Amino acid sequence: MASESSGRTFQEYLAHHLQNLVYGPLPEGHERKFYAKGDSSTEKDTYCQDKGMDYDGSKYCKETLTEDGWYLANNKTDVEAMGFWALNIDTLFFSILLGSIFVFLFARAARNFSLESPTKLQCFIEMMIDFINGVVKGTFKAAKNTLIAPMALTIFFWVLLMNVMDLVPVDLIPYPAELLGVPYLKVVPTTDLNLTAALALSVFVLYLIFSIKSKGFIGFIKSISLHPFGPWMLPANLFIEIIDLIAKPLSLALRLYGNLYAGEMIFLLIAGMVSINLAELTLTGIGLNLAGIMLSLIWAIFHILIVVLQAFIFMMLTVVYMNMAHEKFEQH
């Protein structure tokens, strides 16, 4: 299997790939565990001693912290001990990197803009701007706001670039990174619920701001307390509208996260069928390898649709919510 290169079982291989690179505070007295390298207990014990740690007799080296500090997590126990103030370094790095690529490409196209001899990049970006602009014009009709189309364009391309990372072979980046000393690395930012929730909450905050700006504070309160059943059913109105408000960021965050996480999980399961120890392959192993490669290609082709569709849905729902926020409240 693909896990053979690191000496892990397939379950450990899955857990390793689904773990973020987390940086956060750990208290004094916390016991940390590190994966011990080696084929035998003697080799693992020697490895741990070279690192100045104790061997636990199974698979890990361990150390007890002598002071409070900020550390990279090495397992779920470390992550749980870090609490709320932990940072998912890989999610931050790849999301900022991909956002920077988006800004660079659009800035370059704008800087080299030409009516006489447009580049392929310029033609592509103009086509996408026309597409997004058409979607916004067909959906956002409640008011005039020049922020909506640029916001929709940014959301679509940023989410799309983050989703596209799911098409990168699962071990292509994490394995070399581990050889360089990076214990964990998730390269698909949208498989991290923290990021999708942050995007959804940002959209939700804008929804509230535009709702209050459009309706006024009193009008906004009336819209959630007097609708849909009128003033005599105020408790029922509040219950329904508050559930509706909560559902907006939840649906945005969980839909994007769930689809991309499931896609990544399927890639990992398929990768588990492939062995890299070619010299030890049996006839059955060769068959599994070929099947794994074919399934991976088929799923990657199908997943292209999911990658694009989820970015479009996130953008489309954002525009719909912005249109709802700009609608004037009318009491019937």
Here the tokens at position 48 are: 């741990």
Catalytic residue among 6, 225, 251, 289: 251
163 is catalytic: no
Catalytic residue among 259, 275, 296, 323: 259
DSSP result, 63-90 = EE-SS-EEEE--SHHHHHHHGGG-EEHH
Q: Is 144 helix (H, G, I), strand (E, B) or coil?
A: coil
32 is catalytic: no
Catalytic residue among 5, 202, 255, 289: 255
Q: What are phi and psi of 38, to 5 degrees?
A: 140, 155
Using CB atoms within 10 Å of the CB of residue 20, give its burial: 0 to 12 exposed, 13 to 18 middle, 19+ buried.
Answer: buried
Q: State the Cα–Cα distance between residues 214 and 326, nearest whole angstrom.
A: 5
Q: State the Cα–Cα distance between residues 73 and 81, nearest whole angstrom.
A: 9
**Are 50 and 43 a contacting pair, CB within 8 Å?**
no
Q: Which residues are catalytic?
A: 251, 255, 259
